Amino acid sequence: MTNYLEVRNLSKRFGDFSALGDVSLDVVEGEFVCFLGPSGCGKTTLLRAIAGLDPQTSGTIRQKGRDVSALPPAQRDFGIVFQSYALFPNLSVTDNVGYGLVSRRQNRAAILKRVTELLALVGLPDAGPKYPAQLSGGQQQRVALARALATSPGLLLLDEPLSALDARVRLRLRHEIKALQRTLGVTTIMVTHDQEEALTMADRIVVMNHGAIEQVGTPQEIYRRPATAFVADFVGSMNFLAGTLMAPDKVRVAGVDFDCPVQAGLAPGQKVSLCIRPEDVRVRDLPADIVNRVPVEVAELDFVGAFCRATLRAQAAADVALTADFSSNLIRDLGVDIGTKLDIALPPDRLRVFA
Partner 1 sequence: MSLAVPGLRIGLSRDDLMMRAGVVLLAGLLLVMLGLPLWALLAKGFEDRDGKFVGLANYISYFSTPALFQSALNSLQVASITTAIVVPLAFLYAYALTRTVLPMRWLFQGISLIPIFAPSLLPGIALIYLFGTQGFFKALLGDGSIYGIDGIVIAQVFYCFPHATLILTTALATADARLYEAADVLGASKRRVFFTVTLPGAKYGLISAALVVFTLVMTDFGIAKVIGGNFNVLATDVYKKVIGQQDFSMGAVVGMVLLAPAALAFLVDRLVQRKQVALLTARAVPLVPRPKFARDLFFTLFCLLVSAAILAILGMAIWGSLIKYWPYNLSLTLDNYDFAKFDSNGWDSYWNSVRMALGAAVFGTVLMFTGAWLNEKTRGFGMMRGVVQFLAFLPMAVPGLVLGLGYIFFFNAPNNPLNFLYATMGILVVNTVAHFYTVGHLTATTALKQIDPEFEAVSASLKVPVWRTFTRVTAPICLPAILDIAIYLFVNAMTTVSSVIFLYAPDTKLASVAAVNIEEAGTTAAAAALCVVIVLTSAAVKAAHLIADRFLFARLQVWRRR
Q: Binding residues for partner 1, per CB under 8 A?
A: 9, 11, 22, 51-53, 55-59, 69-76, 78-80, 82, 84-86, 88-92, 99-100, 102-104, 131-134, 147-148, 150-151, 153
CB of 73 to partner 1, least distance (A): 4
CB of 189 to partner 1, least distance (A): 13
CB of 87 to partner 1, least distance (A): 8
* Closer to partner 1 by Cβ: residue 51 or 118: 51
Across 258-284, b (16+ Cβ under 10 Å) vs e yields bebeebeeeeeeeebbbbbbbebbbbe
* Closer to partner 1 by Cβ: residue 64 or 313: 64
CB distance 64 to 39 below 8 Å? no
Q: Identify the CA nearest to 118 among candidates 131, 138, 101.
A: 101
* Closer to partner 1 by Cβ: residue 49 or 206: 49
CB of 85 to partner 1, least distance (A): 8
* Closer to partner 1 by Cβ: residue 22 or 259: 22
CB distance 330 to 339 below 8 Å? no
Angle at 29 between CA 208 and CA 192, to 5 degrees: 30
CB of 184 to partner 1, least distance (A): 17
CB of 230 to partner 1, least distance (A): 20
Strand segments, DSSP code E, in the chain are 3-14, 17-28, 32-36, 58-63, 66-67, 79-81, 155-159, 187-192, 204-209, 212-217, 239-247, 250-253, 256-259, 271-276, 293-303, 307-314, 321-327, 341-345, 352-354
- Residues 318 and 326: their CA atoms lie apart, in Å, by 20
Strands 212-217 and 204-209: what pairing? antiparallel
* Closer to partner 1 by Cβ: residue 68 or 294: 68
CB distance 259 to 276 below 8 Å? no
CB of 91 to partner 1, least distance (A): 7
* Closer to partner 1 by Cβ: residue 40 or 89: 89
* Closer to partner 1 by Cβ: residue 95 or 249: 95
- Which residues does residue 80 pair with via DSSP β-bridges, in sequence order? 157
